[in-house]
Structure 1
Amino acid sequence: MMFKKIKSKYLKYVLIGIGTLLIAATLFVFSVYLGVWGKLPSKSELAGFEYQQASEVYTADSVLIGKYYLYDRQPIAYSEFPQHLLDALVSIEDERYYEHSGIDYPSLLRVGFKTILMQDQSSGGGSTLTQQLAKNLYPRRERKKTNITVNKVKEMIIASRLESIFSKDEILTHYLNTVSFGDNTFGIESASLKFFNKKTSQLRIEEAAVLVGMLKATYGYNPRVYPEKSLARRNLVLQSMVKNDFLSEAEKDSLTAIPLKLDYRKFDYTDGIAPYFREEVRKKLIKWAKSENEKGNEYNIYTSGLKIYTTLNYKMQVMAEGAMKKHMSKLQKSFEDSYGKRAPWIQNKKLVEKVVRGTPHYQKLLKNELSTSEVWDSLSQKRNMVLTDWSGDKTVNASTIDSVQHYMKFLNTGSMGINPKTGAVHTWIGGIDFKRYKFDHVAQAQRQVGSTFKPIVYTAALETGIPPCAYFSASEVAYENLKGWSPSNSGNKDEAYLNYSMEESLSKSVNTVAVKVLEATGIENVLNQAKKMGVFSKLPNQPSVALGTGEIYLNELAGAYASYVNNGKAVLPYLIETITNQNDSILVQFEPKRAKKRAFSKQTQQIMLEMMKSTINTGTAKRIRSTYKLNNDIAGKTGTTQNNKDAWFVALTPKLVHITWVGLDNHEIGFKSTSLGQGANAALPIFASWYQQLNKHKEFNAITKARFEKPNPFVLDQLNCEPVKRDGFFKRLFTNPKKKKSKKFRNG
């Protein structure tokens, strides 16, 4: 009797305790529901949530080459998920997904029993896919142990609301579009592109299993970092698919035998194809978005999921970058060897000091109120650092000054290829390495263009009535009214006795003749001609402009040269064709900007093309034919500036204009010799090697096999003259070739 009373008494206390706990738990859940522990999203808020989506950049041939994002996410529709991906996800993450309404109570009891009573920490969290979606949409802000229960209850309530709003398929869609795969990658599409370089719809079963397997621990099962762990996890996912009748044992065994194979592609700001081009596109997008926002249209290039379709040709760009790297690595070695131990970045201490003083490190130390000697001592301290050259990264013991000297010596480049009819950019290379050199030599650099300006001078001459068979003496002249300025030529010592036709002097790039053609034409006429051809940079109103002392942007020069194969009309190179939203609805379509009027006559156009064909066939660019064996229709012009600071090559074909520049960013360092630094040697090979590759691909036949139109007989007749005339015997007899003539420069 006594035992029964004691038992009844203890039972009473147990029941009271259980009841108290139930009431407390109910009140706690109710308090979470009411928002005491933080506001919960309403059903209307859940129904209207939007993803922050990465904007995507595509080439003209529909290749994804880059993204702009805060979170790398590319949402896709349910129809784009392969069934085996969904089967794998449900099998390993939520077996009863289609049976519960957001909360899997049997799973919760199992986890609670194992975790609390059996202290099994590997029992899992018991969260359903819907609860995980709730966590994806509303990440936990507090990760302290005291907040775990609150967070779990919040996620259960949000999960129940999600289930009442969305169908099971819609929840899976939202989950797969929001779940993190680590490395700032969100959603299955971005993960699929990153790890396998393919769209989600193209994933094979074993690849889908790898990505699904990552969800348990995005770093621990990252296939790039831990391939063995990832492989084991993949096989576990495949086994769970067998358990849930999505795969047979035989299928599983076959898939398990497949090795883990990634095609990893990181969409990074500094990596990948065409980084300078992508950066220029980004700048233009920001301007466009700003103007649209002023109109009341809210667009953010990092979150609005825009799709940007550009003019770039992927294959052409890949080949262009390959040709550039091959040539520049060889040229760099020749450049360094030419200077040897007497290189300015080694021997010219004043120049090194000047460059060091311009570095952020130097300026930062000065702001810390250190003396100049203390700053210099600090920058002279050696430590382990990574220095990069064409052979790769190397860890060396060096100082900041050593680093400055190392990078001072590197040649850089800029090149672009455009459609001369529209200005559409096919290729764009802004420099040798975007990681190290952010400065874009296509859109940001104004450099002296050297002899590539001469065709504009000769065009103006023809337009003012000077015939192409007019002869000009190649003798050097000291111009009295220009402080004795005396342009000279490199090469033939006998040139004092030679008189060149316009065609021959342009193809051989004779400086003395170019100045005399400018003199006969008039500087103002030449400057006006340049403006008509789309040159907007301010040019010097000086005779030296004939030799290309004006500083012009590379893309500006490309647009001007396009007029020679575009009915005399200049174009403005452009990069973006269309911008759409995530549903592919066009937001804006950009039209080519071309000059409305011809810059010169049809006759002048044909004459200039014939002259520039001679540059390729017999002139300064003849190695196009002799060395590179290019038999395509090509016209062009080489260019080299004073002291070999800039090397240029312009190639004109019926359907392509290509410009290349090579030089150093430091204007105080040039090539050691003209033979190394002339445009034909330093710049031309980049185009020539690239064009050789284009010739090998039939898909580019429309460009490479295009032919210039035949000039009319009158034009050919005008050019039918001896290229060079030699002074007569008596004139040579009374002329001292070593003595410069003195005269006044007569402008026009």
Structure 2
Amino acid sequence: MAKAKPKSTKKRTKTPASNTIKYIKAFWILFGSGLFLIALLFLLASWGVYGEMPKFEELENPQNDLATQIISSDGVQIGTFFKENRTPVSYEDLPQHLVDALVATEDARYYDHSGIDARGTLRAFVFLGTKGGASTISQQLAKQLFTGGSKNKIERYLQKIQEWVIATRLERQYTKKEIVTMYLNKYDFLNQAIGISSASRIYFGKSPKDLNVEEAAVLVGMLKNSSLYNPLRRPEMVKTRRDVVLNQMEKYEYITEKQRDSLKQLPLKLDYSPEGHNDGTATYFREYVRSWMSKWVKENPKGENADGDPEYFDIYRDGLRINVTIDSRMQKYAEEAVQEHMANLQKEFDKQEKDNKTTPFRDLTEDEVKRILNRSIKSSARWKKMLSQGKSEKEIRQSFDKKAEMSIFSWKGEIDTIMTPKDSILYYKKFLRSGLMSMEPQTGHVKAWVGGVNYKHFQYDHVYQGARQVGSTFKPFVYATAIDQLKLSPCDTLPKSQITISAGSHGVIDNDWTPKNSDADYTGYMSLKEALAKSVNTISARLMDRIGPEPIVRLAKKMGVESDILEVASIALGSVDLKLSEMVGAYSTFANQGIYTKPVTITSIEDKNGTVLYQFVPETSDVISKEAAYVTINLMEGVTQSGSGVRLRTGPSSRYDIKNVVTGHPYKFTNPIAGKTGTTQNQSDGWFMGIVPNLCTGVWVGGDDRATHFRTTTFGQGATMALPVWALFMRKCYEDKTLKISKEAFPKPENLTIEVDCKAFKRNNIQDENIDEFSL
């Protein structure tokens, strides 16, 4: 029997073919696992595992805080209310070269991918981001809208995955044009310029559609890092970055090589116009609108929330559009006029104050000065803030004596200095203040509103907040009442002699009242027209004595005056305190043929979709007859023909050395102008009210305290303090032919029974005892 062969102990070796199969299997397992892992990562991202993902509705309507726009009557945005200063624009509002610059610089294959640029992503992985990033415009928008950023690298990688998912969804949901528009509307260009519309206005003073190629390149260059490439801080870096964008535009044939080289030679040119709440045009008016809107939204809820409670509009987030009556051109001219004259007037005031031991106050004792300062300290924001923090009065007062760094106002620009808060209060007291308001009498539309000389440093609004003594500008109310009741003619004459109104009559208390004329001349007779032109007090007092204060006050109230007016004889000379806005509204009644039209500032409000939420309805009322209104206008024309307003025709009187103060003289207006100056006791307040047929404008000038004033009427009268502002403003308005400010005569009513042509009028000297026969 044969023996069995022993088993071989030699190991078998695998063939090369079997090794290959093993490696292939391993590769596909790893590859499949990698794909699965990648798919899982994206799936988890879409499920919101790494963070909340936007819902379909959110992709349909991404939530942005939208600034509320204030739009002037000529279609210019003059301001915004915002948490984020974003004003959305449509794709049609974007110039093509802006879109080209964006695509060339940020995403050259934008029109070829669906949210993720595969080539760019692969390049970024291979070169670890050293040869350009991989983020598409869609991914950048996704980051802005929904993910933000993170300093943690792992979180940032996961967010990147989220951005890829969101980007593809955005591409399915929106067109390429819509994505570009959303991206440019969303980006923060800094300096309160959020979105391309705000950035265009703030950095270049124009709308996006008006940007030229090099300006568009600057803004696109900022998209890389608006903090690093900011034209206000690093202009040279911004210019270099701009040129990179121009190179990209040439590379992808959006511009020619010749155009690129030419544009790169241009300097970086900005027109920086900040839009902070304290910056820009119509700052005082915008604050008034903010206050008005704060009340309006509380009275007009937009709906109810899930609990049935009222839900209100947010003027800082809801993107409302407030259409206002202000004309941006006239507002600009008004602000320029105030700035130009007040800077010169302040120089003269400072010069006169050098020898005043109690500057900036006059005719006060040291105790009275201390009382003013103490009152100002207690009404200051610092006092109120520290009081709310629980600080004791002693601690608060001590803080006013501690020096601190601060930036203070000057007519040559802000000054960085160190001083105590108490000293800063005294410093600001020396500055003269001003207010201007201009309105169309027929419509009530307020066209210009300047509440002060600088909103950042002087926030008290002298158009709407401040009531000051009006002086002789109140006299037209007295004359109008007398004309309406007594049917007097401007040509009728009254004696200039002094008149005494007894104690107990017409509100006179304790002692008899005997008003005086500024020139101390009480002889002869004077026509009503001449008497108003020269502001003769005794004649105003005679008229008031005959008709009494009650009908005068009643007329003023019908003309829109809401401030309290005591029914006393002294109102004939303007002892009452009124607001500039009230005065302009009332004076406009004379130009509107006796019809009072309530001043209006806001014509309509729209939501972000253009739905009208509020529409202004004019409020008018008949106050006096057309005849009485026209005769009063005729009387006030005499003021600018031969009275205190005559320098509108001739410039300042040569006997006063005020050429450096009355800016821009001689004015040499030749058209019909009705007006009235006003100067109060001690020259504390200077007024001028000026009217042409389609525009009524009032100007007030004075100190914050009535003890701050000029020494004499040479500079302290309304004709020197306030009239030049009116003249400068109107001259600018007339030079702008697009405004169509009237130079025509005031419309004369038919069948006028009161004679206004004094050359043809037979002299009629009216004695006091004969006026009664004209009374109604």
Identify the match of residue 581 of structure 2 among 552, 555, 558: 555
Aligned-pair CA distance for 1:578: 3.3
Q: Which moved more, 1:461-470 or 1:634-643?
A: 461-470
Identify the match of residue 353 of structure 2 among 336, 339, 345: 339
Aligned to 1:425: 446
Identify the match of residue 216 of structure 1 among 209, 224, 232: 224
Q: Matches of residues 83-94 of structure 1 in structure 2 within 5 Å?
A: 83-94=96-107
Aligned to 2:134: 126
User: How far does the alpha carbon of each residue in 1:74-105 deviate from its partner, in whole angstroms, 9 at most, with x for none?
Assistant: 22222333333222222221222222221223
Distance in 2 of aligned mates of 1:337 and 1:362 = 32
Q: Percent identity?
A: 36
Identify the match of residue 63 of structure 1 among 60, 76, 85: 76
Whether 1:77 and 2:90 are equivalent positions in the alignment is: yes
User: How far does the alpha carbon of each residue in 1:692-747 deviate from its partner, in whole angstroms, 9 at most, with x for none?
Assistant: 333334334542345453896742268536598999xxxxxxxxxxxxxxxxxxx9
Identify the match of residue 356 of structure 1 among 373, 377, 401: 377
Distance in 2 of aligned mates of 1:174 and 1:530 = 54
Aligned to 1:617: 641
Distance in 2 of aligned mates of 1:186 and 1:210 = 15
Whether 1:519 and 2:545 are equivalent positions in the alignment is: yes
Aligned-pair CA distance for 1:209: 1.9
Whether 1:631 and 2:670 are equivalent positions in the alignment is: yes
Taking a change above 3 Å as real, the CA distance of residues 337 and 109 of structure 1, as seen in their structure-2 partners, is same
Distance in 2 of aligned mates of 1:60 and 1:372 = 49
Aligned to 1:325: 339
Q: Matches of residues 117-156 of structure 1 in structure 2 within 5 Å?
A: 122-140=130-148, 142-156=150-164
Task: Supply the AA of the counterpart residue of 2:322.
Answer: I
TM-score (norm 2): 0.85
Identify the match of residue 280 of structure 2 among 269, 272, 296: 272
Whether 1:53 and 2:53 are equivalent positions in the alignment is: no
Structure 1 contact 504–723 (Cα < 8 Å) conserved = no
TM-score (norm 1): 0.88
Distance in 2 of aligned mates of 1:97 and 1:236 = 19
Identify the match of residue 253 of structure 1 among 245, 261, 265: 261
Identify the match of residue 325 of structure 2 among 292, 302, 311: 311
Distance in 2 of aligned mates of 1:522 and 1:3 = 127
Aligned to 1:607: 631
Taking a change above 3 Å as real, the CA distance of residues 392 and 687 of structure 1, as seen in their structure-2 partners, is same
Aligned to 2:513: 486
Identify the match of residue 616 of structure 2 among 577, 587, 590: 590
Task: Supply the AA of the counterpart residue of 1:269.
Answer: H
Identify the match of residue 644 of structure 1 among 664, 675, 683: 683
Distance in 2 of aligned mates of 1:64 and 1:162 = 31
Structure 1 contact 335–672 (Cα < 8 Å) conserved = no
Structure 2 contact 68–318 (Cα < 8 Å) conserved = yes
Aligned to 1:198: 206
Task: Supply the AA of the counterpart residue of 1:186.
Answer: I
Aligned-pair CA distance for 1:436: 1.0
Structure 2 contact 477–552 (Cα < 8 Å) conserved = yes
Aligned-pair CA distance for 1:568: 0.7
Distance in 2 of aligned mates of 1:94 and 1:294 = 41
Distance in 2 of aligned mates of 1:80 and 1:403 = 47
Taking a change above 3 Å as real, the CA distance of residues 448 and 149 of structure 1, as seen in their structure-2 partners, is same
Distance in 2 of aligned mates of 1:223 and 1:372 = 46
Task: Supply the AA of the counterpart residue of 2:568.
Answer: Q
The count of residues paired between Structure 1 and Structure 2 equals 721
User: How far does the alpha carbon of each residue in 1:538-557 deviate from its partner, in whole angstroms, 9 at most, with x for none?
Assistant: 21122222222222221122
Q: Matches of residues 176-575 of structure 1 in structure 2 within 5 Å?
A: 176-293=184-301, 299-340=313-354, 341-345=356-360, 348-362=369-383, 375-465=396-486, 467-468=488-489, 469=492, 471-475=494-498, 477=500, 479-481=502-504, 482-495=509-522, 497-575=523-601
Distance in 2 of aligned mates of 1:685 and 1:487 = 33
Aligned-pair CA distance for 1:292: 3.5
Whether 1:106 and 2:119 are equivalent positions in the alignment is: yes
Task: Supply the AA of the counterpart residue of 1:484.
Answer: N
Aligned to 1:664: 703
Aligned-pair CA distance for 1:612: 1.3
Task: Supply the AA of the counterpart residue of 2:324.
Answer: T
User: How far does the alpha carbon of each residue in 1:499-550 deviate from its partner, in whole angstroms, 9 at most, with x for none?
Assistant: 4443333222222332232121022222222223232322112222222222
Distance in 2 of aligned mates of 1:190 and 1:723 = 66
Distance in 2 of aligned mates of 1:715 and 1:508 = 22
Structure 1 contact 498–726 (Cα < 8 Å) conserved = no
Structure 1 contact 362–375 (Cα < 8 Å) conserved = yes
Taking a change above 3 Å as real, the CA distance of residues 38 and 570 of structure 1, as seen in their structure-2 partners, is same
Distance in 1 of aligned mates of 2:61 and 2:766 = 82
Structure 1 contact 633–706 (Cα < 8 Å) conserved = yes
Distance in 1 of aligned mates of 2:352 and 2:737 = 40
Aligned to 1:732: none
Q: Which moved more, 1:620-629 or 1:353-362?
A: 353-362
Q: Which moved more, 1:577-586 or 1:163-172?
A: 577-586
Whether 1:715 and 2:730 are equivalent positions in the alignment is: no
Aligned to 1:731: none
Unaligned runs of 5+ in 2: 1-12, 305-310, 652-666, 769-774
Unaligned runs of 5+ in 1: 116-120, 728-746
> SS of the counterpart of 2:300?
helix
User: How far does the alpha carbon of each residue in 1:155-198 deviate from its partner, in whole angstroms, 9 at most, with x for none?
Assistant: 11111211222232332232222233233433323222222223
Distance in 1 of aligned mates of 2:66 and 2:745 = 42
> SS of the counterpart of 2:449?
strand
Aligned to 2:738: 699
- Superposed CA RMSD: 3.3
Q: Matches of residues 18-57 of structure 1 in structure 2 within 5 Å?
A: 25-57=38-70
Taking a change above 3 Å as real, the CA distance of residues 19 and 609 of structure 1, as seen in their structure-2 partners, is closer
Distance in 1 of aligned mates of 2:554 and 2:25 = 105
